[in-house]
């Protein structure tokens, strides 16, 4: 089976436990206004590199010497769930090779696809954009329902779960927002951790090269002290 990937990072230390090979899939159904990988959106045409699942797993296996006991492969993007059949086949091959798998995703997919894929996923890293449907639409162009359904399914299957949330100055950087976010997450799941990620402007040039108007022009990188302060709130709410 063939799919399109954007790139492969061979020494990922921030995309799951241990050292990991990170496979960035091409294609995404969301259009996040702060996306730093807008070049991964398109699936058609010349975007991305076509590869078979067998070849991809061979490339992953070449890096297993540094996985150790905790490392493995993380499928990211783009949105890996946007090519569900290929992702499932690759996950099965990785499981046969006893390679730990993590899925870095927005959770925006059909339930039937998620059902099959989660059975072969070692860890889900779910990026929750917002807890309110109207705000989720503003930030991503899509409703919240599918992501919420995915979150509930992960909880039902008891798949290990990490949550990530991008903090954007002037949009979702208040203490009230963070407390409501944690409450929303706990209403539907029990993640191992919730991690706040600071908004940055490193993706603006990609938007320009693609001929796109960047929606958050003028918004500066979030202050690291703000992230530290808000993360303390998250951690206290988790305990």
- Residue-level pLDDT at 69: 87
Cβ of 3: how many Cβ atoms within 10 Å?
A: 25
> What is the pLDDT at residue 197?
97
pLDDT recorded at residue 150? 97
**pLDDT above 90 as % of the chain:** 91
- Per DSSP, what are the bridge partners of residue 50? 4
Interval 7-30: pLDDT, tens? 999 988 989 999 999 999 999 999
Reply yes or no on whether the pLDDT at 45 is more than 90.
Answer: no
Residues in the chain: 239
The pLDDT confidence band at residue 46, using thresholds 50, 70 and 90, is confident
**pLDDT higher than 80, residue 164:** yes
Q: Read off the pLDDT band of 85 (50, 70, 90).
A: very high
Mean pLDDT of the chain: 95
CATH topology of domain 2-238: TIM Barrel (3.20.20)
Q: What is the pLDDT of residue 71?
A: 95
Instruction: List own/partner pairs for 185-191 with CB under 8 A and 24 or more apart.
Output: 185/128, 185/131, 185/151, 186/237, 188/148, 188/151, 188/152, 188/155, 189/151, 189/152, 189/154, 189/155, 189/161, 189/163, 190/155, 190/161, 191/126, 191/161, 191/162, 191/163
Kind and range of the H or E run holding 74:
strand 72-76
- List, in sequence order, the alpha helices (H) in the chain: 53-61, 84-96, 111-118, 133-140, 145-157, 175-188, 204-209, 224-238
pLDDT of residue 11: 87
Q: Would the pLDDT of 237 be above 90?
A: no
Residue ranges covered by each domain of the chain: 2-238
Q: What is the pLDDT of residue 49?
A: 94
Q: Which contiguous run of DSSP H or E holds residue 35?
A: none
What average pLDDT score do residues 160-179 get? 97
Dist CA 40 CA 75 (whole Å): 13
**47: pLDDT confidence band, cut at 50, 70 and 90?**
confident
pLDDT of 226 over the 80 cut: yes
Per-residue model confidence (pLDDT) at position 131:
97
Nearest to 168 by CA among 177, 157, 160, 159: 177
143 phi and psi angles, rounded to 5 deg = -70, 165
Q: Has residue 98 got a pLDDT over 90? A: yes
Q: How much is the average pLDDT of 120-127? A: 98
pLDDT single digits (tens) 52-64: 999 999 999 999 9
Tens-place pLDDT, residues 175-215: 999 999 999 999 999 999 999 999 999 999 999 999 999 99
Which residues, in sequence order, are bridge partners of residue 161?
A: 124
């Amino acid at each position: 089976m063939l799919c399109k990937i954007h790139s492969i990072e061979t020494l990922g230390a921030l995309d799951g436990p241990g050292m990991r090979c990170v496979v960035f899939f091409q294609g995404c159904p969301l259009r996040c206004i702060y996306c730093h990988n807008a070049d991964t959106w398109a699936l058609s045409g010349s975007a991305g590199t076509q590869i078979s699942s067998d070849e991809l797993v061979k490339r992953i296996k070449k890096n297993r010497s540094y996985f150790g006991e905790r490392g493995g492969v993380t499928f990211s993007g783009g949105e890996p769930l946007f090519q569900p059949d290929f992702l499932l086949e690759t996950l099965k091959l990785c499981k046969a090779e006893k390679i730990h798998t993590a899925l870095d995703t927005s959770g925006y997919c059909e339930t039937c696809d998620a059902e099959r894929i989660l059975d072969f996923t070692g860890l889900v890293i779910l990026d929750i954009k917002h807890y309110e449907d109207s705000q989720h639409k503003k930030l991503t162009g899509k409703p919240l329902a599918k992501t919420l359904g995915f979150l509930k399914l992960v909880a039902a299957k008891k798949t290990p779960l990490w949550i990530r949330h991008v903090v954007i100055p002037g949009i979702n950087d208040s203490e009230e927002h963070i407390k409501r976010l944690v409450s929303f997450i706990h209403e539907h799941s029990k993640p191992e951790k919730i991690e706040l990620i600071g908004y940055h402007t490193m993706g603006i040039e990609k938007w320009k090269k693609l001929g796109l108007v960047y929606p958050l022009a003028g918004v500066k990188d979030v202050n690291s002290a703000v992230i530290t302060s808000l993360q303390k709130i998250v951690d206290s709410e988790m305990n």
